[in-house]
């Protein structure tokens, strides 16, 4: 393709992005996800409480105060203008995320597998994760921005930029807590300078909102945020079929839908008490955390080279144990799917080839089955019977296996 045609194609793509952004801006109204973030930013700026339920504002507000401080950037502009600009940025972040993912793989793959990357792996991973990106766009959510920050942080670390890596990963966690496992990866597996930078940067993310809001409101924000999320730590589970975390999967498996969700269907395979479901989920959560941290410690003690699989495990652990994991959150599966699709079958043992085949089938179902193509019933089956959760859990186990496999004996 000639330079002129490349510029023409790039201009056409940007024009299309502008048109889509204008359409998104015109569709904004009260009650949307973006409207909620815009309101939180206005509340932060005006000194109002952040964690209150207000009619017409989608809640509850589960964002940390640091995120609300950043949402002031939305509130500087009218709602529709801010929504259009953010949507345009989200569109641009898609190719940026793909490029960052490829850069990270190009750096880490020699240590991740003895065989070259399957050249079709990245295009297939893009196709299988596309619906998660589209869901994020449709809701004009912040998950793609957080994912891009995580990728920037990982690449900065691989380029020996320790403070920059720690700042970006800690900042991403201060916006949404899910990347916490990447911060844990940096502390356990990272160089000393990067690990030591985490604590002061974390304290800075707590202190900055307090400095702007003042000690009284700043401390109240932290207290209110704690009370807002405490219910999830004490066992609250959002059992809705669209929630694809481990807790919801366990509860849907053995508990009837909540009375507050009259439109939900019954996905029980067998019936158990609330206490039994809670115990099983608690044991599963402990195994996920112990498996992840145990693998990182083992890799650190054995001075194993960094691999894309331990990073995939960090992304997956965050989704499994998050309070809520909607499809829009799963843009990170681009990175994870790429890892398993990139494996060359001839480099795998017979059992690993069986695992790779099962994983590929589940990835296809998770990524391709949607309401628009397969209808409402199949869409509910996939969500209600937690196909995506079991896929994530299987890939989490595979990520630990392949990361430990590359460690020296």
Read off the pLDDT of residues 180-194 as tens digits, 9 standing for 90 and up. 999 999 999 999 999
pLDDT tens for residues 347-375?
Answer: 889 999 999 999 999 999 999 988 877 88
- Among 183-187, 266-270, 279-283, 394-398, the least confident range: 266-270
CA distances from 7 to 96, 126, 128, 231, 333 (A): 18, 24, 29, 52, 31
Return the DSSP state at 305.
P
Distance in angstroms (rounded) separating the CA atoms of residues 395 and 181:
16
Name the range with the highest mean pLDDT among 112-126, 255-269, 322-336.
322-336
Cis peptide before 328 (omega within 30 of 0): no
CA dihedral 195, 199, 200, 201 (to 10 degrees): 80
190 conformational bin, left if phi > 0, alpha if psi -120 to 50, beta if neither: beta
Spatial CB neighbours of 260, under 8 Å, sequence gap ≥ 6:
none
Average pLDDT over residues 104-109: 94
What pLDDT does residue 371 have?
83
Cα gap 299→294, rounded to integer Å: 9
Q: Mean pLDDT score of the chain, rounded to an integer?
A: 92
Per-residue CA distances from 330 to 321, 343, 388 (Å): 13, 21, 10
Helix boundaries (H) for 55-191: 65-70, 72-75, 79-112, 121-139, 143-158, 162-175, 180-189
User: What's the confidence (pLDDT) of residue 324?
Assistant: 92
Residue 409 pLDDT greater than 70, yes or no? no
- Other CB atoms within a 10 A radius of the CB of residue 68 amount to 26
* 407 in Cβ contact with 298 (< 8 Å): yes
Taking the domains of the chain in order of start, what are their residue ranges?
92-213+238-405
Task: Look at residue 373 in the predicted model and tell me its pLDDT.
Answer: 79
- The SS3 assignment for 236 reads coil
Residue 108, judged by CB atoms within 10 A of its CB (0-12, 13-18, 19+), counts as buried
Identify the pLDDT of residue 408. 60
Split at pLDDT 50, 70, 90, the class of 407 is low
* Angstrom distance (rounded) from CA 220 to CA 355: 49
Structure tokens at 86: 């953010």
Smallest CA-to-CA distance from 185 within 342, 356, 304 is with 304
């Amino acid at each position: 393709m000639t330079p002129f045609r490349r510029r023409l194609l790039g201009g056409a793509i940007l024009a299309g992005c502008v048109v889509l952004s204008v359409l998104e801006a015109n569709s904004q109204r009260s009650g949307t996800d973006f409207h909620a973030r815009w309101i939180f930013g206005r509340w932060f700026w005006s000194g109002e409480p952040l964690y209150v339920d207000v009619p017409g504002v989608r809640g509850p507000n589960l964002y940390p105060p640091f995120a609300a401080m950043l949402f002031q950037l939305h509130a500087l502009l009218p709602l529709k203008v801010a929504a259009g600009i953010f949507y345009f940025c989200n569109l641009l972040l898609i190719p940026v995320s793909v490029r960052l993912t490829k850069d990270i793989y190009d750096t880490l793959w020699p240590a991740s597998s003895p065989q070259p990357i399957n050249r079709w792996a990245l295009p297939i991973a893009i196709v299988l994760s596309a619906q998660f990106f589209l869901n994020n766009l449709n809701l004009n959510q912040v998950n793609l921005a957080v994912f891009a920050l995580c990728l920037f942080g990982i690449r900065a670390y691989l380029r020996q930029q320790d403070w920059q890596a720690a700042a970006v990963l800690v900042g991403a966690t201060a916006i949404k807590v899910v990347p916490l496992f990447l911060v844990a990866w940096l502390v356990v597996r990272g160089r000393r300078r990067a690990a030591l930078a985490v604590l002061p940067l974390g304290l800075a993310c707590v202190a900055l909102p307090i400095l702007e809001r003042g000690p009284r409101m700043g401390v109240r924000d932290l207290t209110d945020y704690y009370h807002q999320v405490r219910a999830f730590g004490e066992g609250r589970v959002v059992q809705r079929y669209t929630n694809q975390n481990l807790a919801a999967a366990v509860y849907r498996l053995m508990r009837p839908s909540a009375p507050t969700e009259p439109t939900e269907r019954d996905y029980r395979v067998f019936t158990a008490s609330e206490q039994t479901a809670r115990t099983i989920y608690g044991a599963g959560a402990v195994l996920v955390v112990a498996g992840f941290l145990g693998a990182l410690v083992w890799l650190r003690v054995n001075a194993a080279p960094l691999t894309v699989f331990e990073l995939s495990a960090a992304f997956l652990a965050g989704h499994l144990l998050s309070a809520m994991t909607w499809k829009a959150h799963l843009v990170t599966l681009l990175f994870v799917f790429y890892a398993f699709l990139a494996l060359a079958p001839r480099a795998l043992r017979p059992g690993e080839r069986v695992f790779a085949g099962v994983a590929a089938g589940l990835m296809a179902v998770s990524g391709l089955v949607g309401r628009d193509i397969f209808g409402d019933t199949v869409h509910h089956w996939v969500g209600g019977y937690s196909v995506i959760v079991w896929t994530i859990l299987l890939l989490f186990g595979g990520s630990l296996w392949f990361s430990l496999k590359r460690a020296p004996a």
